[in-house]
């Protein structure tokens, strides 16, 4: 079996180079890989040099355990590439122009479908069909907002869906209307969105497989080798199976099937069948070990479930998606079937509801190593922190959200009011209390690249480094903690801490080559570190172009 020696750079000995180790011992400069596994590190690896079949020159870079994304939506992110690129648009005319260009370049497309626009670009998130009619008058246009809970359509799409003045208001949805009752062009929540989705063309299997391939290639280029897909419907499973069996996944994915508050009693057989089919496929790239529960919504639309009412809407405290008894029964059921539980909880009442439910599960089903994940944790009542420790919950944060950007300043803080707004994203408090941390991106909600997230966790600053002292600076974490949360922290979440997430002999060679050692870079330069190469089980899934030319093995995919 071939032996590959990686040398000429710095090796992080256990994924994260502990400051102590860095100061006491000489830096490790070599790592040997055989058959996808790390065989030796440091002098032991150098001793194998004469027997190496090939050598990879690290060029003075920093070889780290690769990153892993503890919560993301790679299929949705990949599908966004198949329509007009509107995510970075900063005005309505800019979006309309991007849509017009796309439509002109794709004359054969019956519908123009895109995601995901910035909903703050129009007052109250209400967008007008006429703004799109000017760009595309003849074909339906359907654009999803960044949270996927609202769509903006043109008049042709309203006509195709048969939505007009006489359309009754749907259950669980809202058609925004003009004073005369005719639809404006903005449809909110599933009940209204489905009116148009049911006539729009869906994505084909090939579209979805392409989306998974390109999404995972993007992840590989960001140094990521494992992704928790945090929302999978059974309809999506064939695309994952096809992509995995055709060797078209460039990162491992673990699926979390979404538990439906209305239909969960019927879901277990389908989830078990899908899990079995994925196990039978035997691909190391795909698992389906998890079930996802949305406990609440988001603060910006006042759907996050809060312990006390919103400051700017004293009659509202948000909307839990589950009745507590149903949640307890559903979580206990899926836990008994051996699934890991992954809980979306944004508001402090949702976090408490999650903890209460996890206690019930533990009581009913008895102790076992279950590592439930509570994701997002935007507002946490300090009294609940010790309960996270007691229940063995993994806290999954999206570190990019922990800064005072426009959404935070203009939408979030006014809803929460102070001092409650100061309780947001208590990453350092949870770390100090001993809660295992994992980081994620929630891509495509926010960018998938770990390095800007690491920078934000360490500085609590926006991309333009504001404020100077950081936002809620007590909740900053050091770079060692942040790196661990994006590497070994996620491997712990994935029950894989003995397989990947650190660079030690016997572990899989899942590695990312960085342009600089994050421990030696100024905090405000962390986001500038480049990923030069990514290896999954010793095989390159990404090599920066200049390296791809130099290295003996060709890249699997270069984006």
- In the complex, the residues that contact Zn ion under the rule CB under 5 A are 230, 442
- Rounded to whole angstroms, the Cα distance separating 61 from 539 reads 18
- Rounded to whole angstroms, the Cα distance separating 268 from 82 reads 32
Q: Which one, 213 or 442, has the nearer CB to Zn ion?
A: 442
**103 burial type by CB count under 10 A (0-12 exposed, 13-18 middle, 19+ buried):** buried
Closest CB 375 distance from Zn ion, rounded Å: 7
Question: In the β-sheet with 340-345, what is the strand arrangement from edge to edge?
Answer: 67-72, 224-232, 252-258, 286-294, 340-345, 373-376, 394-397, 437-439
User: Which two structure tokens, joined as six digits, stand for 341?
Assistant: 């539980």
Q: Which one, 6 or 294, has the nearer CB to Zn ion?
A: 294
What are the start-end ranges of the E strands in 424-488? 437-439
Q: Is 21 helix (H, G, I), strand (E, B) or coil?
A: helix
Please give the backbone phi and psi of residue 342, each rounded to the nearest 5 degrees, phi first: -125, 115
Closest CB 76 distance from Zn ion, rounded Å: 9
Report the b/e string of 272-303 with b at 16+ CB within 10 A. Answer: bebbeebeeeebebbbbbbbbbbbbbbbbbbb
Closest CB 147 distance from Zn ion, rounded Å: 10
Q: Which one, 296 or 442, has the nearer CB to Zn ion?
A: 442
Q: Which one, 118 or 398, has the nearer CB to Zn ion?
A: 398
Closest CB 442 distance from Zn ion, rounded Å: 4
DSSP state of 138: S
The gap from C-alpha 114 to its chain's centroid, in whole angstroms, comes to 19
Q: Which one, 300 or 442, has the nearer CB to Zn ion?
A: 442
Name, in order, each residue with C-beta under 8 angstroms of 386's C-beta and a sequence gap of 6 or more: 433
Q: Which one, 77 or 501, has the nearer CB to Zn ion?
A: 77
User: Which two structure tokens, joined as six digits, stand for 422?
Assistant: 């100061």
CB atoms under 10 Å from CB of 171, counted, come to 9
Q: Which one, 40 or 375, has the nearer CB to Zn ion?
A: 375
The residue of the chain with the least Cβ separation from Zn ion equals 442
Find the length of the chain: 559
Q: Which one, 68 or 230, has the nearer CB to Zn ion?
A: 230
The answer to whether 534 and 225 have CB atoms below 8 angstroms apart is yes
Q: Which one, 140 or 440, has the nearer CB to Zn ion?
A: 440
Q: Which one, 12 or 343, has the nearer CB to Zn ion?
A: 343
Closest CB 134 distance from Zn ion, rounded Å: 33
Report the b/e string of 532-542 with b at 16+ CB within 10 A. Answer: bbbbbbbebbb
Closest CB 159 distance from Zn ion, rounded Å: 33
Q: Which one, 230 or 395, has the nearer CB to Zn ion?
A: 230
Measured distance between the N- and C-terminal CA atoms of the chain, rounded to whole angstroms: 30
Closest CB 344 distance from Zn ion, rounded Å: 7
Closest CB 443 distance from Zn ion, rounded Å: 9
Closest CB 378 distance from Zn ion, rounded Å: 12
Closest CB 73 distance from Zn ion, rounded Å: 6
Closest CB 95 distance from Zn ion, rounded Å: 23
Give 288-336 as a 3 state SS string: EEEEEEECCCCCCCCCCCCCCCECCECCCCCCCCCCHHHHHHHHHHHHH
């Amino acid at each position: 079996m071939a032996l590959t020696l990686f040398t000429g750079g710095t090796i992080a000995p256990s994924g994260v180079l502990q400051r102590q180790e860095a100061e006491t011992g000489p830096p490790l400069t070599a790592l040997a890989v055989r058959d996808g596994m790390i065989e030796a590190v440091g002098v032991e690896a150098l001793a194998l040099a004469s027997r190496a079949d090939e050598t990879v020159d690290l060029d003075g870079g920093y070889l780290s355990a690769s990153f892993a994304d503890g919560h993301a939506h790679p299929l949705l992110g990949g599908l966004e590439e198949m329509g007009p690129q509107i995510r970075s648009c900063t005005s309505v005319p800019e979006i309309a122009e991007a849509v017009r260009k796309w439509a002109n370049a794709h004359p054969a497309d019956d519908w123009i479908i895109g995601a995901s626009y910035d909903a703050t670009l129009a007052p109250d998130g209400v967008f007008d069909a006429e703004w799109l009619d000017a760009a595309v008058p003849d074909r339906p246009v359907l654009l999803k907002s960044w949270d996927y809970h609202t769509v903006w359509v043109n008049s042709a799409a309203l006509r195709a869906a048969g939505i007009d003045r006489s359309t009754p208001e749907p259950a669980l949805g809202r058609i925004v209307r003009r004073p005369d009752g005719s639809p404006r062009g903005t449809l909110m929540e599933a009940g209204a969105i489905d009116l148009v989705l049911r006539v729009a063309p869906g994505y084909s299997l090939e579209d979805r497989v392409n989306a998974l391939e390109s999404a995972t290639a993007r992840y590989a280029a960001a140094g990521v080798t494992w992704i928790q897909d945090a929302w999978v419907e059974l309809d999506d499973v064939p695309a994952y199976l096809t992509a995995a069996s055709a060797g078209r996944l460039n990162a491992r994915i673990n699926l979390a099937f979404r538990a439906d508050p209305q239909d969960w009693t019927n879901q277990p057989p389908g989830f078990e069948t899908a899990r079995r089919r994925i196990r039978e496929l035997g691909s190391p790239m795909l698992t389906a070990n998890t079930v996802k529960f949305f406990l609440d919504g988001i603060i910006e639309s006042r759907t996050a479930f809060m312990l006390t009412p919103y400051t700017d809407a004293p009659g509202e405290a948000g909307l839990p998606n589950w009745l507590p008894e149903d949640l307890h029964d559903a979580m206990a059921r899926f836990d008994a079937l051996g699934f890991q539980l992954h809980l979306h909880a944004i508001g402090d009442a949702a976090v408490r509801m999650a903890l209460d439910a996890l206690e019930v599960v533990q009581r009913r089903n008895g102790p076992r190593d279950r590592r439930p994940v509570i994701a997002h944790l935007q507002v946490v009542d300090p009294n609940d922190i010790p309960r996270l420790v007691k229940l063995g919950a993994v806290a999954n944060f999206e570190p990019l959200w922990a800064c005072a950007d426009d959404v935070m300043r203009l939408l979030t803080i006014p809803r929460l009011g102070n001092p409650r707004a100061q309780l947001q994203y208590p990453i350092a408090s949870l770390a100090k209390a001993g809660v295992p941390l994992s980081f994620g991106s929630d891509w495509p909600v926010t960018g998938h690249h770990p390095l800007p997230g690491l920078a934000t966790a360490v500085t609590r600053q926006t991309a333009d480094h504001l404020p100077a002292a950081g936002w809620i600076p007590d909740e900053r974490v050091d770079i060692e903690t942040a790196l661990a949360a994006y590497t070994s922290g996620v491997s712990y979440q994935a029950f894989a801490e003995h397989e990947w997430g650190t660079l030690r002999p016997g572990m899989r060679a899942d590695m990312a080559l960085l342009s600089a050692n994050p421990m030696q870079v100024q905090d405000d330069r962390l986001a500038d570190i480049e990923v030069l190469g990514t290896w999954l089980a010793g095989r390159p899934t990404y090599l920066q172009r200049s390296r791809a030319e130099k290295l003996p093995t060709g890249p699997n995919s270069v984006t």
